[in-house]
Structure 1
Amino acid sequence: MPSPFAFSGDFRRLWIGQTISAFGDKVSRIALPTVALLGAGGTAWDVGLLAALRFVPFVLLGSVAGVWVDRVSHRRTMILADIGRLVAMGSVPVAYLFDAVTLGHLFVVAGVVGVLTVFFEVAAQSFLPTLAGPDGIVAGNERLQTSRAVAEVGGAAAAGGLMQFLGAALAILADALSFLASLVSLLLMRHREPAAIKPDKPRSALREAKEGLAMLWSDARLRNLMFASTTVNLGVATANTLVLVFAYDHAKLSPGAVGLAFAIGTAGLILGAVSAGAIARGLSLGRTLAMSIFVTGLGFLVLPVGGQGPAMITLVVSQFLIGFADSVFNILVLSLVQRITPPEMMGRVNGTALSVVFGTGTLGGVAGGLVGTVVGVLPGLVLASAVICCGVAFVLVKPLRTMRDAASEPVASPANPPQPDARRETMRPTA
C-alpha cells in the first residue's frame, strides 16, 4: 500500500524525532520542578513560576513566532530552536556536577526553553503539511498525537526511574538528549523548502501579525474553529484546576491512586489519536467535532455525578473520556487548519491560534481557582462542563456542519486561498 505522505522518509524522520522529544519533555516537566524543590530550596510558588515560564511565552510570542516562521525556513527555525533548547536544558546537569544549581538558573532555563518551544511548535505545525502532503495531514497528526499520548505514560515512568537511579538533575539530561535526537532527525531530512516570496516593499511585523488574525476572522471555517477551541479550552482549563481538589479532598484518594488513575485514563488519548480520522469519515467532520466537545464535557461531569462512590473508577472513566475526546478534537481541528490555510499564511495563523489557546488556558486556570472558592468544587465542575458544551454551537453551524471531513476541503494555495465569508467581509478583526 503506498504511503499517504508526500515525503514519507522525511515525515518518518520528523515523527521519530518528535516521539523521542515528547518522552524527554515529559521527563523534564517532572524532573525540573523536582530539582527546584529538592536541590535548590524552592517552594510551591517557585514550581508554579517554572510552569508559567514554559507556557506564558505562547501567549506573548505566538503571533511574533508566526511572523518569523512565514519569513524563514520552517526546518531552519526548528533546527535553531533545538540547538538552543539542547544547550539550555543540558546546562542543568552540568551545573549539578559543579554543585552550582540555583533557582535563578532554573528560571532562565525554563524561560529559554519556553520561548524556543513557541518558535519550534509554530514552525512544526506549519511544516507538517509540506512533508505529509494534502492526503497525509490527518494521518500525520494522528501519529504525532499518538506519540505524545504514549509519552504521557511512558515518559512519566521513565522520569521516575531516571530520578531514582541518577537523581533529578542528571535525569534532565534525557530531555537534552531528546532535543539532540530531534535535531539529528531534522538534519537528515532531504527535502528543502522553496525560498519564501519576499514582498516588493518592506512590511512591518505588526502588519503581518494582524494579517494572521484577519485570516482567522475572515474565513468562516477558521473563525468558528477558533471560537469553538477558545470555549472548550476555557472550560477544560477551569475544570482541570478542580480535578485534583476533587480527587484529594472529596474522593479522599491517595497520590498513588490518583497517579494510577491518570495513567490508565491516558489510554483514551491513544485511542482517540488512532481513530480520529476514521470517526470523522463515518460521522462527518462537524458531527465528530460536536461529539468530541460533548464527550469532553461529559468526562468532567462524571466526577460530581459519581461523587464519592467508586471514586477510583469514576476518575479513570473521567480521564479516559476526556483524553479520547481531546485527541479527536485536536487532531481534526489542527488538520483542517493546516489544509485550508494558504502556505504563506500558515505560520501567522498557527501562531495566533496558539496565543489564543494558551491565553484562554491561562485565564481558565485562574477562573477555576475563583469558581472553586466561590461556588465549590462540585458545582464548579458542573459549570465548567456546561462551558465546554457551549463550544458545540460553533461546530454545528455552517460551514463546519456541512463538511464531510478535512480531506474533502480544497487545499489552500497562493492561487486558491480560503474565501472570506461575504457577510463578515467588511468587519475588522478584534483581539
Structure 2
Amino acid sequence: MLGSGPFARLFVAHATSQLGFRVAQTAMPLTALTAADASPSGAAALITVQTVAGAVMAGLGAGGVIGALLVKRFLGALGQARAITYGLLVPAPFALLASLAGWMPAWTTGLGMLGVGAGAVLYNVTQISLRQTVTPPELLGRVNATMRTLVWGVIPLGGVVASAMSSLLPVSSVVVIGAVLACTAWLWLVGLHAPARFEAVTRSG
C-alpha cells in the first residue's frame, strides 16, 4: 500500500520534513555555543545555550497545544488533502525563523518553534486520519507500523547528516540548510487527492 495512492507521497513528504527538521534541531544548540564563544564570560555562554534550548522546547510544546485546539476547524475549512498540504506549508516560514537561532533573540527562536509545533500537530492529525480511513482494517496495524518505522528511521539519519555537515560547514549554515529542506516537504503533496467519502465526512463533521 505504500507504493501506490497517497501513501508513497505522504511517506516521502513526511520523511523529507523529518530529515530537514532533525538536521536543523541537531545543529541548533551548536549555533548558540558558537555565538557564545564571542562572550568573555563562560556563564554568559551557558545562559545562551540554556535560553535557546528552553525556547525550542517551550515553543514546540505550546505550538502543539495550539495545533490541537485548531485542528478540527482547520480540517473542516480546508478539506483533507489541502489540510495535509498546508499542514506542512504553513510552518515553513516559522522553521526558517527558528533556524536563525544564535543570530536573533531567543524569543524569535521560540516563536519559530511555536509555528513548527502547531504545524506538526495539524499535519499529523490530518494525515493519520486519512491513513486510517483508506486502509482496510486488517492492514491498518501493518501500514501504521511500516510508516512509523520508515519515517522515524530518518531521525537518527538526520543527526548523522548534521554531524557530517558541521565538520564541513558553519553550524549556522547547517541549521538553515536543514530548515530549508524541511520547508520543501509540502511540494511532494501538491495535487494530493483524498477519497471523496472522506472529504464528505470531514466537511459534515
| TM-score of Structure 1 vs Structure 2, range by shorter chain | 0.7 to 0.9
1:241 to 26, 32, 41: 26
Conservation of the 8 A alpha-carbon contact between 2:99 and 2:179: no
| Aligned equivalent of 2:35 | 250
Distance 1:314 1:408, change over 3 A: closer
Distance 1:234 1:405, change over 3 A: farther
In the aligned structure 2, how far is the partner of 1:308 from the partner of 1:324? Answer: 23
1:388 correspondence with 2:174: no
Distance 1:297 1:378, change over 3 A: farther
1:222 correspondence with 2:7: yes
Shift of 1:330: 1.1
Distance 1:304 1:360, change over 3 A: closer
1:348 to 139, 142, 160: 142
1:335 correspondence with 2:129: yes
2:81 to 279, 286, 290: 286
Task: Within 5 Å, give how 1:32-431 maps onto structure 2.
Answer: 215-218=1-4, 220-250=5-35, 252=45, 254=47, 255-265=49-59, 266-305=61-100, 308-309=103-104, 311-400=105-194, 405=199, 407-408=201-202
Distance 1:243 1:272, change over 3 A: same
Misfit runs of 4+, over 6 Å: 401-404
Distance 1:344 1:406, change over 3 A: farther
Shift of 1:298: 2.4
Secondary structure, counterpart of 1:374 in structure 2: coil
- 1:95-144, Cα deviation, whole Å (9 max, x unpaired): xxxxxxxxxxxxxxxxxxxxxxxxxxxxxxxxxxxxxxxxxxxxxxxxxx
Distance 1:408 1:270, change over 3 A: closer
Shift of 1:267: 0.8
Shift of 1:350: 0.8
Distance 1:277 1:402, change over 3 A: same
When structure 1 is superposed on structure 2, of 227-236 and 286-295 the one drifting more is: 286-295
In the aligned structure 2, how far is the partner of 1:406 from the partner of 1:240? Answer: 38
Q: Counterpart of 1:225 in structure 2: which amino acid?
A: L
Shift of 1:402: 8.7
- 1:340-378, Cα deviation, whole Å (9 max, x unpaired): 110000111011101111111121111111122222222
| Superposition TM-score, scaled by structure 2 size | 0.81
Shift of 1:297: 3.2
Structure 1 unmatched runs, 5+: 1-214, 410-431
- 1:146-166, Cα deviation, whole Å (9 max, x unpaired): xxxxxxxxxxxxxxxxxxxxx
Shift of 1:390: 2.2
Shift of 1:407: 3.8
| Superposition TM-score, scaled by structure 1 size | 0.41
Distance 1:229 1:222, change over 3 A: same
Query: How many matched pairs?
Result: 193
Secondary structure, counterpart of 1:216 in structure 2: coil
In the aligned structure 2, how far is the partner of 1:403 from the partner of 1:228? Answer: 23
Secondary structure, counterpart of 1:375 in structure 2: coil
- CA RMSD, Structure 1 to Structure 2 (Å): 2.7
In the aligned structure 2, how far is the partner of 1:322 from the partner of 1:313? Answer: 14
Q: Which has the larger radius of gyration?
A: 1
Shift of 1:337: 0.8
In the aligned structure 2, how far is the partner of 1:263 from the partner of 1:245? Answer: 16
In the aligned structure 1, how far is the partner of 2:202 from the partner of 2:98? Answer: 38
Distance 1:398 1:335, change over 3 A: closer
Distance 1:306 1:264, change over 3 A: closer
Q: Counterpart of 1:234 in structure 2: which amino acid?
A: L
In the aligned structure 2, how far is the partner of 1:359 from the partner of 1:352? Answer: 10
Distance 1:297 1:374, change over 3 A: farther
Secondary structure, counterpart of 2:191 in structure 1: coil
Shift of 1:259: 4.6
Structure 2 unmatched runs, 5+: 37-44
Secondary structure, counterpart of 2:2 in structure 1: helix
- 1:46-92, Cα deviation, whole Å (9 max, x unpaired): xxxxxxxxxxxxxxxxxxxxxxxxxxxxxxxxxxxxxxxxxxxxxxx
